[in-house]
Amino acid sequence: MSQNRAALAVASPPVRTTTTSSPLIPQQAARVILSVRDDLQRYGLERMLGAVGAVGTCRAFAELSAAVDAVHDPRTDLLLIVPEPADLDGDSVLHRVAAYGVRVLLLLPDTRSFDLDRVASVAGASLLFSDGLDAAALGDMLGAMRAGEVRIPAALTRPLMELAGRGAREVPAAPRLTPREREALTLVVDGLSNKQIGRRLRISEHGAKRLVANILAKLNCPNRTLAAARALREGLCGHPAAPRGPLAPPAATHAPASPYENGW
């Protein structure tokens, strides 16, 4: 009898288990860039993101500037931030990355511990409360953001609508670029390095670097990736402008150059 049971156990097919991943991201998992100053909270969020099936990779940083530099592609990357008061200042890099197509999630402690006016000034940012947050809710939020949605907690809907009723913000004027700068910006969008741009424009590598630096300053962009995203979105170079929307990612035909690959 024991031999028959053993044979049956060997012959029986193994039990199959299935894992469900987010249906909102069926083809490519999200790349999450995490910016959290507090060590304990940062480690906890890293662990929670590891349990979200829709998240492929997660890179965590204590400083917002380092997190922004890690954004390689505004079309696929998500920036999750527990904002410090200084991060919401008008001249903060957070406002620039949000304005140029990077999808931002601001993780807030509760309904009372932040300035709603300053939070609302971050263009197109989704909002989520950290109190009672679990992996399922976080995964649902990230999936919705990848699908192009902007989500806010129900408790903030009415206050934000009241803020919106005060009047629309002025749209910043297009930067004034010289023909040479537009030519160089097109090469930046195409992913060329400073050395390659110098060869194409028949100038030195140092001259190309200075030219690109001037372009970044005029576009108010901290790195080449975001400069390429804005150029594509607003038609600032030889490529056609992408459709504008509340959270439309730049529809690039070429992958924007990484700030790491080109020394920026």
- The model's pLDDT over 160-170, given as tens digits with 9 standing for 90+, comes to 767 666 544 55
Can you give the pLDDT at residue 152? Answer: 84
More confident site: 43 or 259: 43
Average pLDDT over residues 31-37: 93
Can you give the pLDDT at residue 118? Answer: 82
Tokens 């949605």 sit at which residue?
A: 149
CATH 1.10.10.10, the chain: domain bounds? 174-264
Which residues are bridge partners to 61 per DSSP? 35
Would you place residue 44 in the very low, low, confident or very high pLDDT band (cuts 50, 70, 90)? very high
Position 24 pLDDT exceeds 60? no
pTM value is 0.56
- Determine contact, residues 198/185, Cβ cutoff 8 Å: no
Flag the least confident range among 10-19, 88-97, 147-156: 10-19
Tokens linked to 128: 């989520």
CATH number for the domain running over 30-164? 3.40.50.2300
Would you place residue 114 in the very low, low, confident or very high pLDDT band (cuts 50, 70, 90)? confident
More confident site: 27 or 106: 106
Can you give the pLDDT at residue 171? Answer: 53
- CA gap 149, 67 in Å, rounded: 22
Show the DSSP H helices in the chain as ranges: 2-11, 39-50, 64-69, 93-99, 116-120, 135-146, 154-164, 179-189, 194-201, 205-219, 224-234
What angle (nearest 5°) sits at the alpha carbon of residue 211, between those of residues 207 and 212? 120
Tokens linked to 151: 């989500």
Show the DSSP H helices in 121-223 as ranges: 135-146, 154-164, 179-189, 194-201, 205-219
CATH 3.40.50.2300, the chain: domain bounds? 30-164
Highest mean pLDDT among 61-75, 176-190, 240-254: 176-190
Own/partner contacts of 152-155, CB < 8 Å, gap of 24 or more, are: 152/126, 152/127, 153/111, 153/127, 153/128, 153/129, 155/111
Q: Which fold has domain 174-264?
A: Arc Repressor Mutant, subunit A (1.10.10)
Helix (H/G/I), strand (E/B), else coil: 202: coil
